[in-house]
Amino acid sequence: MTALVDALRAIGLTHTAAELDDLVALATKRRWNATQLLEHIVEAEERERTKRSLDRRIGRSRLGGFKPLADFDWAWPKRIDRDAVDAVMRLDFLADTRNVVLVAAQGLGKTMIAQNVVRAALEAGHGALFITAAQMLLDLGAQDSARALDRRLRYYASRPLLCIDEIGYLSYDARNADLLFQVVSRRYERKSLILTTNLAFSDWPTVFPNAACTTALIDRVVHHAEIIAIEGDSYRRREAQEFRATKPSRRTKPSG
């Protein structure tokens, strides 16, 4: 059996090699003929390769942990277009290389929605990258040569789906604005982009106060975009208030 396991691994049937003893026992128990056994092997290998491929895409995506959209409280926001969110979750925008922009104050679930869209894209077989604006611009700004910078710009431009989170939380200088503009321009009408921001587009000049490219940047983002605005009070503030309300009060022991 050892030689057979090694031969199976050598031809790429790693799952069959790892499960060979159980597979032989199952085939014997069910009295499979050769065709049935081969069909089972093919199906099992396809499932395992699909799983490994998804695991690799998830690892490269930097997505991390997040809450599923099933936990989203649709009744909490004062304004949200659920149909638009559902359409984005179906990945309709990817086929047309459109962008998605989620605009909301802090704590209203825009990042959660973006993460769920990225996960849906990964599960559908697309490559994706999830990164904050600060992380991406720090990476680009740290490149020590024009060649290295171009290589990183090509990396961000080539991801099938790129999600840039948290635009608007920090203010950036003109160089950072130019770097973001280059990423957006290289993807423009070629690959889809998801952005989350806490600011209306009219306020973006406050994020890039000395940049000449801000208007052109916004134009390229919104030209082919699904813009989903969410209005209301912060979920996190509500959860904190509910936690404090249910937390048992601590009584101070008398001294002495």
Break the chain into its structural domains and give their ranges.
Answer: 2-61, 69-240
Strand order in the sheet with 192-197: 128-132, 161-167, 192-197, 99-104, 225-230
Q: Which residue has the higher pLDDT, 247 or 145?
A: 145
Contacts of 60 (CB under 8 A, 6+ apart): 127, 129
d(C-alpha 132, C-alpha 110), whole Å? 13
pLDDT over threshold 90, residue 209: no
Label residues 93-111 b or e (16+ Cβ within 10 Å = b). bbeeebbbbbbbeebbbbb
User: What's residue 12's pLDDT?
Assistant: 93
- What is the arithmetic mean of pLDDT over 173-180? 93
Note the pLDDT of residue 242. 59
- pTM of the model as a whole: 0.83
Q: Does residue 41 register a pLDDT over 80?
A: yes
Categorize the per-residue pLDDT at 171 as very low, low, confident or very high, splitting at 50, 70 and 90. confident
| pLDDT, mean of residues 234-252 | 61
Architecture of the domain defined by 69-240: 3-Layer(aba) Sandwich (3.40)
| pLDDT confidence band for 241 (50 / 70 / 90) | low
**Residue 249 scores a pLDDT above 60:** no
Residue 51 has pLDDT above 50, yes or no: yes
Distance between CA atoms of residues 101 and 93, nearest Å = 11
